[in-house]
Chain A
Amino acid sequence: MTARDDIDAVEADSVTPIRDDPSALRLMMRNRGVFWGGMLLAVMVMIALFGPLLTGDPIALNPIKRLKPPSGELFFGSDFLGRDIFARVVYGARISLVVGLAVAAISVAIGLFIGMIAGYIRILDGIIMRVMDGLMAIPAILLAIALISLSGATLTTVIIAITIPEIPRVVRLVRSVVLTVRDEPYVEAAIAAGSRLPLILHRHILPNTIAPLIVQATYICGSAMLTESILGFLGAGIPPEIPSWGNIMSEGRTYFQISPWIIFFPGIALAMTVLAVNVMGDGLRDTLDPRVARKM
């Protein structure tokens, strides 16, 4: 969703920049979005870590209790095989968060590397950016569906398939930062002082990319979780025996008219998690001065 970047670019204009403040973390937490988004996300992480230890078995079949509505015993009801939706939703938090974090981390790492090269090595810039333009023109969901259908559906292939379309956004962002920073006097001074390229990149360029990348990573995390659930829902994602939120909802489709809770509860859990990530991202963007990020 590159459109987000353009919104950021315009919205960022009304933001007062904060630079090199020693209490940056405290300032960030003072932002309401960062605080509430972060709290909600922390709760989801706790649920993902410890929840499955407390609930029942998410894959235990109980044919006598098929398609039961929510009750005191089955908080979120049960599905067509009598499995406990509550236990499955709690377990699904693990999958969603793992996918979100993995996609964000990998795409930022790869994008950072390619973006630095594009921004600093002039000959490669044109080629790399045309390839990125091409990659961005391919609809992300279709690309992911094709990659997964070719290489077989596992957690790893799903993560890779969601990561690839996200990389160009990171590359564009990093490249734009590098292009603004490389002409700064302190970089010229470092060159004049005889610093080698790796040192310049590491000491002078890299630190400038961190703030916009943190913001970008939160958005990628949110959209990756959505894409994962869409792939699962379409039956093109993680193998159906793993209770991810998308898979639970996919299985609930047939029974939607009689048991809508099979789709609603994982849907609410997913929306809450993505909302938390997005609200946190907006807050971070307002706090971390993305002014550099807008020059794309």
Chain B
Amino acid sequence: MLRYILIRILATIPVMVIVAAFVFLMLRLSPGDPASVIAGDYATAEDIARIREKLGLNEPILVQFVNWIGQLLRGDLGTSIFSNLPVTTLIGQRLEPTLLLTLTTILFTVIVAVPLGTLAAWKSGTLIDRFVMLFSVGGFSVPVFVLGYILIYVLAMTLKVLPVQGYRSPFEHGLGPFLWHMVLPTLTLSVIFIALIARMTRASVIEVLQEDYIRTARAKGQSEFTILLRHGLRNAAVPIVTVIGIGIALLIGGVVVTESVYNIPGLGRLVLDAVQSRDYPIIQGLILFFSFVYILINLLIDLSYPLFDPRIRY
């Protein structure tokens, strides 16, 4: 058990190193002089030299890479070119809204998608099933921001039941205003995620429902509800949980867009502001941050399998 956990944790290290190497090479291998690209069109020769110095681009490439890995190991993601603040500080300042938006979205998604998928699997082939599948294909096809604007138009502008934009911190303004402003962003971000999870739930529950022990349970005269929940969903849990983890990648992309639509001052906005001002260390730091979070979440999910399925032992 302990051995497996250790091996699994160690296995994430090469993946992280490759992410770091890729992000490192991206700047160095991009066409043209990266320092002058970052400095912009109106930069003077001194500006470019200053940026080159700051990014350590004067050193040999191998020295640069070793320095960079050393920095990362010390938890240093670099320094912003314009604000001169460490990227980790900037991430810390913007983390709260993004984290909370992601959590409300995952929570809402699981509450909606798992029952929806199970229902579709139970009623597979019927109109309900068709409807769930249609919703799912549709969810994959509508761009996040278009959905956001449709929701703003209907719920905030026409019916005027929800605020158009903005973010209220639960720690400063209380839980009520926070949730009030979170409804639309959460709905927007959830749709694609619900589409994904509902489809996966449906597919894996359908598979489980064909098993012999389901027939046995029916023969014993257990209620359909117990069969679906205790025998069906329980055995279908592992693939569902796995796809939630993989879906985090989808969610990270969606967060950037959703924060932009609803004017939420989170990490997504930090990326876009950094792109506008060509503050490359921030972009680089955020890519690393998000990738590492993704890798760690999937590691945790991997290690949590025995909780969902006691047959899995390490």
Contact = CB atoms under 8 A, between A and B. Distances in A.
A260 B151 CA distance: 12
Interface stretch (A21-29, A45-53, A114-122, A134-142): A134-142
Interface string B164-194: 1000000000000000000000000000000
A271 B287 contact: no
A149 B278 CA distance: 7
Nearest to B14: A130
A263 B14 CA distance: 43
A267 interface: yes
B277 to A, nearest CB: 10
Nearest to B244: A3
A7 B139 CA distance: 15
Interface in B238-273: 239, 242-243, 246-247, 249-250, 252-253, 256-257, 260, 271-272
Nearest to B136: A7
Contacts, number: 173
Given A234-B257, A271-B141, A278-B140, A150 B149 contact: no
A263 B142 CA distance: 13
A138 B19 contact: yes
A275 B141 contact: yes
Contacts of B249: 1-3, 136-137, 139-140
Nearest to B21: A134
Nearest to B19: A134
Contact of B143 (A134, A145, A229, A279): A229
Contact of A278 (B16, B137, B153): B137
Nearest to B20: A134
A230 B145 contact: yes
| Most chain B CB neighbours (cut-off 10 Å) among A139, A141, A226, A236 | A139
B146 A249 contact: yes
Contacts of A10: 200, 203-204, 207, 239
B280 interface: yes
A295 to B, nearest CB: 15
Interface string B198-211: 01100110110000
A135 B14 CA distance: 12
A150 B275 contact: no
Interface stretch (B2-10, B23-31, B52-60): B23-31
B24 to A, nearest CB: 12
A246 to B, nearest CB: 8
A188 interface: no
A270 B146 contact: yes
Nearest to A273: B141
A133 B145 CA distance: 28
A91 interface: no
A145 B278 CA distance: 11
Interface residues of B, number: 64
Contacts of A139: 249, 252-253, 287, 290-291, 294
Interface string B25-44: 01100111010010000000
Nearest to A138: B291
Given A10-B239, A142-B252, A260-B149, A150 B27 contact: yes
Contacts of A149: 275, 278, 280, 283
A293 B147 CA distance: 32
B283 A234 contact: no
Contacts of B142: 267, 271, 274
A278 to B, nearest CB: 5
B200 A267 contact: no
Contacts of A147: 26, 30
A217 to B, nearest CB: 16
Interface string A221-253: 010001001100111100000000000010000
Interface of B: 14-19, 21-23, 26-27, 30-32, 34, 37, 137-138, 140-146, 149-150, 152-153, 157, 164, 196, 199-200, 203-204, 206-207, 239, 242-243, 246-247, 249-250, 252-253, 256-257, 260, 271-272, 275-276, 278, 280, 283-284, 286-287, 290-291, 294-295
Interface of A: 1-4, 6-7, 10-11, 13-14, 130-131, 133-143, 145-147, 149-152, 222, 226, 229-230, 233-236, 249, 256-257, 260, 263-264, 267, 270-271, 274-275, 278-279, 282
